[in-house]
Amino acid sequence: MVTTVEITPAPALMLYIARYVYREFDTNGSHLIKPWFASHEASIHFFFKALPLKLAHPVTREILKTGVPCDILGMSSQYNGNIHFNGSYSFFHIIFKPTALPGFSKFLLPILLTG
């Protein structure tokens, strides 16, 4: 079973962030392969438990990336491959509005610099 919670951002961030998503699932020992389709959104992903095993090219099956605890994904115009999972997952996504990531960086930078 997959548990998904979507959260609306605060009004001050609505120009940049479309939504927050928290998701949990357990493959119960099975190997789960999920296609990674093209997307018009940029996002940041934080994995709290198990990491994705790998991202594999759809034709050559070459491993393009192995799991990382945090990843920034940009917009894409093509099918990106298959993501492989096996374990108990808990992760949080920040989904940006299309073309909002550069503007959000300008908003966030002064906050980060002041501590």
Q: Where are the domains of the chain?
A: 3-114
pLDDT in tens, the chain (115 residues): 889 999 999 998 888 899 999 999 999 999 998 888 888 888 888 999 998 887 777 778 788 778 888 887 777 787 778 888 999 999 999 998 887 766 666 666 666 566 5
pTM of the model: 0.77
DSSP 3-state of 59: coil
In which order are the strands placed within the sheet that holds 63-66?
A: 32-36, 81-85, 54-56, 63-66
Reading the block at residue 12, the tokens are: 């001050």
For residue 106, give the H/E element and its range: helix 101-114
Residue 112: per-residue pLDDT: 58
Whole-angstrom Cα distance, residue 1 to residue 18?
25
- Give the per-residue pLDDT at 97: 87
* Bridge partners (DSSP) listed for residue 36: 81
Instruction: Supply φ then ψ for residue 74, to 5 degrees.
Output: -95, 180
Distance CA 56, CA 54 (A): 6
Classify domain 3-114 at the CATH class level.
mainly beta
Q: Tokens in use for 33?
A: 């392969």
